[in-house]
Copies of this chain bind each other. A is one copy, B any other.
Amino acid sequence: MFAPGTYAGRREALRREIKSGIAVFPGNTEAAFNYPANTYHFRQDSTFSYFFGLNQPDLAGIIDFDSGAELLFGNDVDMDDIIWMGPQPSMADRGKLVGIDRTAPLQGFGDYIAEALNKGRKVHFLPPYRGETRIQLWTLLGIPVAEQKAAASVELIKAVVKLRSIKSAEEIAEIEKMVDVAYLMHTTAMKMAHPGIVEQEIAGTIEGIALANAGPVSFPVILSVNGQTLHNHYHGNTLSEGRMMVVDAGCESEESLYSSDITRTVPVGGKFNERQRGIYEIVLNANLKAIAAIKPGIPYREVHLLAAKTIADGLKALGLMKGDTQAAVEAGAHALFFPHGLGHMMGMDVHDMENLGENYVGYDEEITRASQFGTAFLRLGRRLQPGFVLTVEPGIYFIPALIDQWKAEGKFTEFINYEKVETYKDFGGIRIEDDVLVTETGNRVLGRPIPKTVAEIEAIMKK
């Protein structure tokens, strides 16, 4: 946890953004795994944690914009709780940790809301993403589940996005620590990537490294010799010579929740063959060119399209694409190989604030989301500002089902050499991802550098 003043300062900043009404922040409850008492690893709501810091279930906060009051709700423990969970700080003591002196039992949360509603005051809330929170809002606010997303406060969403988008030095330090743990995860995976091992052994081991050194993985580990499947959580394949292993994995701090999100792709056995090296160098070039372009003021969609153009140029040199690559990217032909966005904001959420709405986080009045297949999946398009932390993750994939579909439709035959593409249908995919801070003058790749060039990867895998 940060100092109490950090949380007080954030709440004060929010109070400057919103003029009236109250904002309600239900913290997360425990999430049942297979029965009520057997729960998943507790994960606090990120926005609750941003303003109220505490990492326990069944808490709630209110900020009253009219009176300036800041309240924290939660129940003190009893003897049964002590026997099963050990002694716990009182709610009053918890409040002090985050600069709040008005604490009350959880029942007070509903009471405060009921009184506000009775007086016809505006009650700001954020879109819920868990069933338990939806039921809580239904009960406390009387808004049916299906209407809650639309009834969420756009004013509060925009204010929270504005604050959370700009990372402070202490937040950046937390993210860097998590990248350093990701270094351990990824280099361990590289060293384990020998023919004959099953994916699950590696995936489980690196999740264990996250848990032992930081906290939970920041998202389910993606680890596959079938990298052409973008979010592949099936870990049952046996590694074999000639395949590449994509590992997209990061962790988050148990306490502060800040995360990392790194992807590396390596040849099983440790040595790139010529075809692998050819595609790999294109993706690496796209990653490096995109990073070099990151600076305040540039729209991230422009960086995305620069990466797409770099990929198209590289594929043209290999004979997989053809024609005018600028025109190909404008038309969206590159998306056969690079069907996703270049990256996204990150912070306490690995896709930062995605629960508040991707378009509020990644777009604005000036730059709205594109509808073209591929670029439409770009989560961050707007102009970059100092303090943003984002991912840069270009990739090239050979997705048999998509290739078959486009070929059958005769799509972009002027840009795509389907005959050659057919010979790559057994290739898989490659993605290379780093976490990057936008600085006042340009950018900085965060954390301990993780082997990325062909030479660096072959060197660490040889050990």
Contact = CB atoms under 8 A, between A and B. Distances in A.
A132 B201 CA distance: 32
B34 A40 contact: no
A213 interface: yes
Given A129-B36, A207-B208, A82 B399 contact: yes
A103 interface: no
A45 interface: yes
Interface in A138-179: 145
Contact of A83 (B82, B233, B399): B399
Contacts of A257: 34
Contacts of A129: 32, 34-36
Interface string A320-356: 0000000000000000000100000000111101110
A354 B37 contact: yes
A287 B32 CA distance: 30
Interface string A27-66: 0000111111111110101100000000000000000000
A229 B230 CA distance: 43
Interface stretch (A14-22, A84-92, A113-121, A273-281): A84-92
A182 B27 CA distance: 34
A351 B84 CA distance: 16
Given A34-B46, A355-B34, A212 B220 contact: no
A208 B212 contact: yes
Contacts of A290: none
B220 A35 contact: no
A205 to B, nearest CB: 5
A184 B85 CA distance: 26
Contact of A86 (B41, B130, B131, B226): B226
B45 A34 contact: yes
Nearest to A47: B34
Contacts of A211: 200, 203-205, 207-208
Interface string A214-234: 000001100000100111111
Nearest to A207: B211
Interface in A405-448: 405
A210 interface: yes
A401 interface: yes
- Among A37, A86, A202, A219, the one with the most B-chain Cβ atoms within 10 Å of its Cβ is A86
Nearest to A192: B212
A3 interface: no
Given A34-B43, A129-B36, A349-B34, A86 B229 contact: yes
A234 B86 contact: yes
Given A204-B213, A220-B41, A231 B84 contact: yes
A132 B85 CA distance: 27
Nearest to A31: B31
Nearest to A252: B34
B135 A38 contact: no
Contacts of A85: 229, 231-233
A209 interface: yes
Nearest to A49: B34
Given A34-B349, A231-B84, A204 B200 contact: no
B230 A84 contact: yes
A402 interface: yes
B43 A33 contact: yes
Contacts of A229: 82-86
Given A36-B129, A84-B230, A86-B229, 4 more contacts: A83-B399, A86-B226, A204-B210, A204-B211
28 contacts: A31-B40, A32-B129, A34-B257, A34-B348, A34-B349, A35-B351, A36-B129, A36-B354, A37-B354, A38-B350, A38-B354, A82-B229, A82-B399, A83-B229, A83-B339, A83-B401, A83-B402, A85-B232, A85-B233, A86-B229, A86-B234, A87-B401, A131-B132, A131-B133, A203-B212, A204-B213, A205-B211, A207-B211
> Which 4 A-B residue pairings sit nearest by Cβ, starting from the closest?
A208-B208, A131-B131, A204-B212, A204-B211
